[in-house]
Structure 1
Amino acid sequence: MDGLQIVLIVLFGVVSCSRHEITGSLSEVTVRRGDNVTVYCDCKLSTGVYIVWYRNCSHENQPTLALKAKPNYLVDFQFLKNFTSNSFDLLIINVTESDEGLYYCGNEEMKVVDTERIIPKYFQSYSKGTTRILLTSRDDHSGCSSSSGFASWRLVVLAPAVAILSSLLSFILVHHFCQKSDKEPQVQRSRTNRSRRKIRV
């Protein structure tokens, strides 16, 4: 097996593994207005690594909400220490329409990338599961609008599709590049053989 085949096999394996990470599970939790709901996190805590909760809404004017377990400045959200999973679950108190959306957790770690100037950089990783919070009855649509499930299914379906297409494109480009580089030495060898034949004549 030559180097090209090994590189392609390794590249295909890496892309397959990364595609697996993107496709996580989606669970739906339906609650009534005013209920409390707990969303569970599968990310682990460790020294210097913090839990961050994210909420994405299908409403176009609502930005992604990021909740960090530092000072608890939001009354409607609380971090609950889960000793079994060594993580922080998210408790949403008195659910309203504005709490509807896709919730997922992640880890955030700060590392110093330049020790001379002490420049910090934050690295994030995300959970494999996503929870969608839905209300059974709606009086006011001021929060995340989930009247069409298109936005959540777009996230679940298009993310793996984009990953597969990008991996296929990467595979084709690497294969094309490697074949092109394999043909160049053959062309050079044939030119040197021709020049040797001319010298002998």
Structure 2
Amino acid sequence: MDDRERLLSRLARVIADDRVLAAIAAVPRDAFVPEALQARAWEDCALPIGSGQTISQPFVVARMCELLALRGGERVLDVGTGSGYHAAVLAAMGARVWSIERHAELSREAARALERADVRGVTLLVGDGCAGLPDVAPFDAINVAAAAEHVAELDDLRDQLAPGGRLVAPVGGPDQRLVVLRRGASGWSSTDADPVRFVPLVPDFPAPTGMIRRRGR
């Protein structure tokens, strides 16, 4: 059994959503990992990608996707593009993805990685992920790959959810947990999930400077 098979076998024991498992299997993680770390591409761990950022642990990506409960055809906002891997998995689940990254070089490299992986349905932008994309909203789901210290920091993003929408984000200081916010008919609900460790959200970055890349289906 090679590293890829071992990873998929491990995830199958802890992730119940078959659509998530199929997407993780379909997206070549090695396309999103720096050349020097190719031998570790299928390890279940975060790996550095530059600019002080990492490609997230596959389990965390899978768990966040599972909590978003996508069925296909959703409009999804992805905050914190990083390597582009998380956006690729969301697209593999049938979502139409808009992904924002504050580091222009990371966004450009993510575009190249998405090209290598032949991932379609993702638009990349550089700008303030904390502000979301109000001109594109509403979104059926929002994935946040950076930690808010308090749930209130997510208000601008939360308000861009469509009725029935879900937002998944890490929240907390030293002890972060994934939080799921849901917009129901009678208001908002919040549920805590797994402990995680993410870099902090950085607000007040300039607004999105334009589309870096867009690929149709």
TM-score band, normalised by shorter chain: under 0.3
- TM-score, normalising length from structure 1? 0.25
- More contact order relative to length (CA 8 Å, sep ≥ 6): 1
**Larger radius of gyration, structure 1 or 2?**
1
- TM-score, normalising length from structure 2? 0.24
